Structure 1
Amino acid sequence: MPRLLVFAKAPVPGRVKTRLAGVLGTRGAARLYRVLLLRTLAMATATALGPVELWCAPDSRHGFFSACRRAYGVRLCRQRSGDLGARMAHALRRTLIAGDSALLIGGDCVSLSEAELRAAAAHLAGGADAVLGPAADGGYVLIGLRRPCRRLFVGIAWGTPQVLAATRRRLHRLGVNWSELAPGWDLDTPADLRRWRRLQVDSASPKASVV
Structure 2
Amino acid sequence: MSSPTNHLLVFAREPVLGRVKTRLAADIGNEAALAVYRELLAITASAVTAAQVPATVWLAEAPAPAADASTPRPEWPGLPWRVQPPAESLGERMSHAFEQAFAGGASRVAIVGTDCPGLTQQLLHAAFAALASHDMVVGPADDGGYYLLGLNALHLELFANKDWSTATVLPDTLADAARLGLSVAQLPMLHDVDSGRDLATWRAAKAL
Measure how far apart 1:34 and its partner are. 1.7
| Equivalent in the alignment of 1:54 | 57
- Mapped to 2, the partners of 1:65 and 1:105 lie a distance apart of 20
Return the TM-score normalized by structure 1: 0.86
Aligned length: 197
Return the TM-score normalized by structure 2: 0.87
- Mapped to 1, the partners of 2:105 and 2:130 lie a distance apart of 17
Structure 1 runs (4+) greater than 6 angstroms displaced: 62-65
Contact 2:9 2:55 in 1 (8 A): yes
RMSD (Å) for aligned C-alpha atoms: 2.0
**Structure 1 position 75 matched with structure 2 position 80:** yes
- Mapped to 1, the partners of 2:114 and 2:63 lie a distance apart of 14
* Alpha-carbon displacement from aligned partner over 1:5-56 (angstroms, at most 9, x marks no partner): 11012223222212222443202211221221121011111011x2121110
| Equivalent in the alignment of 1:194 | 200
| Equivalent in the alignment of 1:102 | 109
Contact 1:141 1:186 in 2 (8 A): yes
| Equivalent in the alignment of 1:208 | none
Contact 1:60 1:76 in 2 (8 A): no
Query: Any gaps of 5 or more consecutive residues in structure 2?
Result: none
| Equivalent in the alignment of 1:89 | 95
**Structure 1 position 113 matched with structure 2 position 120:** yes
| Equivalent in the alignment of 1:8 | 12
The change in CA–CA distance for 1:13 and 1:65 in structure 2 (over 3 A counts) is farther
Measure how far apart 1:77 and its partner are. 1.1
| Equivalent in the alignment of 1:157 | 163
In structure 1, give the amino acid aligned to 2:48: A
